[in-house]
Amino acid sequence: MANVLTTGAWLSAPTKKPTFFARLLRVNTSSRQRHADRIVETYIATHGLQKLSDDAERHISRLLIKAGQ
């Protein structure tokens, strides 16, 4: 019993496994984020931007909205 109290085993107890829905939601969210990152990278690479201007941000926003539809 002293071992458990002194080593902090109570704090490192295993947590519940995420539900199928939670894992599915996490995978979907990360996939959409990677897709958005690729769109922004492509836009910056094709336009050779060194600094984002307001106009470039508007174009990127429109591209992301269009990609989400």
Low-confidence ranges of the chain (pLDDT < 50): none
For residue 43, tell me if it sits in a domain. yes
For residue 12, tell me if it sits in a domain. no
Structural domain boundaries, residue 38: 18-68
Return the residue matching tokens 């990278």: 41
The pTM score is 0.65
Cβ-count burial 22-47 (b if 16+ within 10 Å, e if not): eeeeeeeeeeeeeeeeebeeeeeeee
Q: How many domains does the chain have?
A: 1
For residue 27, tell me if it sits in a domain. yes
pLDDT value of residue 10: 57
For residue 30, tell me if it sits in a domain. yes
